[in-house]
């Protein structure tokens, strides 16, 4: 049966972004009932949401309804999930105190489905102890609350309070609708992004890794119930909400952080494009160019730690370790060798020269190879879908550890 989602839009500037969320959810053939507060209608017209959701938008507690005997109870009874996005400080306060003075707040009290709250507001308002205490109260009584993103806000300040990315909200909605919790009780350590190696105080060496694959894996693992530690080198991406995020700069720093958390984790996944070389000497001062531009600078490089190989040496019997092999030739053969040299259980191989695969794309074309030689090639998929199939395979290993012997 088609699942029905109530989207409660309250009066914050981020209300306009929820139009995209409705459109994204409609593509999955979900039925959407949009309920707007009066404040929300000042930012976006109900007509916009009616057009996107294909249904009458509900705004008025006193509106005569042909569909329901008692409108707010009828709506509350038929939805499988209620999402409040954006949730303003005012609406959060009303929820925390059981106030029901408009249609949406009345529906909130009447629903028995899970409720997802997505706060978005000015940073000072968000950090205000009263708002924080209201949010805590709501979490404690079982509402799901997403952490807002950090960044520039419409009011001109920068800090926590931004609406999370629509993709993050979408993924949270999907996992609440269909909770596949196969990683509950598991701790996963993931590295992502590219590492940077300083040459002098202003220059560094890096590579084309973007962190997309690792961030998708972290999001997927979190949604499936895992506790996730994401150690990331340079990236422009925002960390998914709910994961323990540790930003690092160099391969050495990444290695130290991974080493610290490795022994307490059940699963270690290395997606990071770790730089293989660093400057033999990092200059204390910026190297000046000579007026004569004919000079040459010969940079001496030395190896960085092979993080997975080092962690592989101390892998515990029941730990699962997954690596990535981004290759430009002999993809499967090279990937198989890495399983052995790095003591991995599984490797995700891809040819980075193929269109739609590898660095900086939103899609990837991968073959997953197991230690026992089994290999499965997948068609072109989004990196989020790739993350799901990788975790499906990891889940199988958790269920049948002997398969790999």
Q: Provide the binding-site residues for ligand C5P, judged by CB under 6 A.
A: 251, 270, 272, 274, 276, 304, 306-308, 323-325, 338
d(CA 237, CA 235): 5
The residues annotated with a catalytic role in the active site are 155
Instruction: Identify any residues that bridge with 367 across adjacent strands, giving them in sequence order.
Output: 349, 377
39 half-sphere exposure, CB direction, 13 A CA radius: 18
Task: Give the whole-angstrom CA distance, residue 141 versus residue 101.
Answer: 21
Tokens found for residue 164 = 């999370």
Nearest approach in angstroms of CB 153 to ligand C5P is: 35
Instruction: Write down the residue that tokens 């550890």 correspond to.
Output: 401
Q: Tell me what percent of the chain is helix, strand and coil, each rounded to the nearest 5.
A: 35, 25, 40
- Of 21 and 321, which has the nearer Cβ to ligand C5P? 321
- The whole-angstrom separation of Cα 130 and Cα 365 is 48
Phi/psi region, residue 242 (left: phi>0; alpha: psi -120 to 50; beta: rest), is left
Nearer to ligand C5P, 200 or 276 (CB): 276
In the DSSP assignment, the letter for residue 360 is: T
Is beta strand 375-377 parallel, antiparallel or unpaired with respect to 277-279? unpaired
Query: Whose Cβ is closer to ligand C5P: residue 101's or residue 329's?
Result: 329
Pick the closer one to ligand C5P by CB: 306 or 404: 306
| SS3 at position 143 | coil
Calpha distance 198→334 (Å, rounded): 29
- Rank residues 90 and 334 by Cβ distance to ligand C5P and give the closer one: 334
Whole-number Å distance between alpha carbons of 163 and 336? 42
| Residue closer to ligand C5P (CB basis): 328 or 376 | 328
- What is the nearest approach in angstroms of ligand C5P to the Cβ of residue 324? 4
- How many residues are present in the chain? 405
b/e burial code for range 220-237 (CB count within 10 A of at least 16 → b): bbbbbebbbbbbbbbbee
């Amino acid at each position: 049966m088609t699942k029905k989602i109530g989207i409660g839009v309250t009066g914050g500037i981020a209300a306009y972004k929820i139009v995209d969320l409705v459109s994204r959810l409609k593509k999955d053939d979900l039925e959407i009932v949009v309920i707007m507060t009066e404040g929300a209608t000042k930012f976006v017209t109900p007509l916009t949401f009616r057009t996107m959701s294909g249904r009458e938008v509900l705004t008025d507690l006193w509106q005569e309804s042909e569909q329901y005997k008692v409108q707010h109870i009828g709506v509350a009874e038929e939805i499988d999930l209620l999402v409040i996005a954006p949730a303003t400080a005012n609406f959060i306060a009303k929820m925390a105190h059981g106030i029901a003075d408009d249609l949406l707040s009345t529906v909130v009290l009447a629903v028995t489905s899970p409720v997802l709250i997505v706060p978005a507001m000015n940073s000072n308002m968000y950090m205000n102890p009263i708002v924080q205490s209201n949010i805590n109260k709501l979490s404690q009584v079982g509402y799901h609350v997403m952490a807002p993103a950090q960044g520039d806000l419409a009011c001109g300040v920068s800090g926590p309070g931004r609406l999370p990315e629509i993709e993050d909200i979408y993924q949270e909605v999907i996992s609440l609708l269909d909770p596949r919790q196969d990683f509950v009780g598991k701790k996963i350590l993931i590295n992502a992004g590219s590492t940077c190696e300083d040459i002098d105080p202003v220059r560094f060496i890096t590579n084309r890794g973007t962190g997309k694959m690792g961030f998708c894996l972290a999001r997927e693992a979190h949604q499936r119930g895992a506790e996730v530690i994401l150690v990331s080198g340079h990236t422009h991406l925002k960390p998914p909400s709910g994961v323990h995020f540790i930003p690092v700069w160099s391969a050495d720093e990444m290695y130290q952080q991974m080493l610290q958390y490795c022994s307490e984790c059940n699963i270690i996944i290395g997606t990071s494009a770790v730089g293989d070389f660093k400057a033999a000497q990092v200059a204390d001062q910026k190297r000046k160019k000579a007026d004569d531009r004919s000079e040459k600078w010969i940079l001496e490089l030395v190896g960085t730690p092979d993080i997975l190989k080092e962690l592989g040496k101390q892998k515990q019997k029941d730990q699962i370790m997954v690596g990535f092999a981004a290759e430009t030739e002999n993809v499967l053969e090279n990937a198989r060798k890495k399983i052995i040299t790095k003591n991995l259980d599984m490797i995700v191989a891809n040819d980075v020269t193929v269109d739609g695969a590898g660095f900086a794309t939103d899609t990837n074309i991968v073959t997953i190879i197991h230690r026992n030689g089994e290999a499965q090639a997948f068609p072109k998929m989004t990196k989020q879908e790739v993350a799901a199939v990788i975790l499906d395979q990891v889940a199988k290993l958790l269920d049948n550890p002997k398969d790999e012997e």
